[in-house]
């Protein structure tokens, strides 16, 4: 089985958050953005499970959901795009920190 770099897994998670918001915003269809968010989250969760095990996958999946939820109140303070990029960056950092050097 090939090894997936930690940076690639982190990028998938961050892209899910940014891409989900972008699709929802530009299409005007929030459920479509949710599909993007969920698909990327599923891919990331599968890799977190494979690379880091069940506890890592559960923790990072929880963080992914928390990042999505936390972006909403944060957006009221700093704006939508800055909030999305902030939580995506935090999620990417968390993913990388947990999965680096494993796989």
For residue 39, give Cα distances in angstroms to 9, 12, 32, 35: 13, 10, 11, 6
* pTM for this entry: 0.93
pLDDT tens-digit readout, 51-90: 999 999 999 999 999 999 999 999 999 999 999 999 999 9
- pLDDT value at position 88? 98
Q: What is the spatial distance between Cα 21 and Cα 98, in angstroms, rounded to a whole number?
A: 25
Per-residue pLDDT band for 18 (boundaries 50, 70, 90) equals very high
Residue 44 pLDDT greater than 70, yes or no: yes
């Amino acid at each position: 089985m090939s090894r997936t770099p930690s940076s690639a897994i982190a990028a998938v998670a961050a892209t899910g958050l940014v891409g989900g918001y972008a699709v929802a915003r530009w299409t005007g269809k929030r459920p479509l953005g949710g599909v993007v968010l969920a698909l990327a989250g599923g891919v990331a969760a599968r890799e977190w499970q494979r690379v880091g095990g069940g506890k890592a996958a559960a923790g990072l999946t929880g963080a992914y959901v928390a990042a999505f939820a936390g972006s909403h109140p944060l957006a009221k303070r700093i704006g939508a795009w800055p909030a999305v990029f902030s939580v995506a960056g935090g999620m990417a950092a968390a993913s990388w920190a947990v999965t680096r050097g494993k796989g």
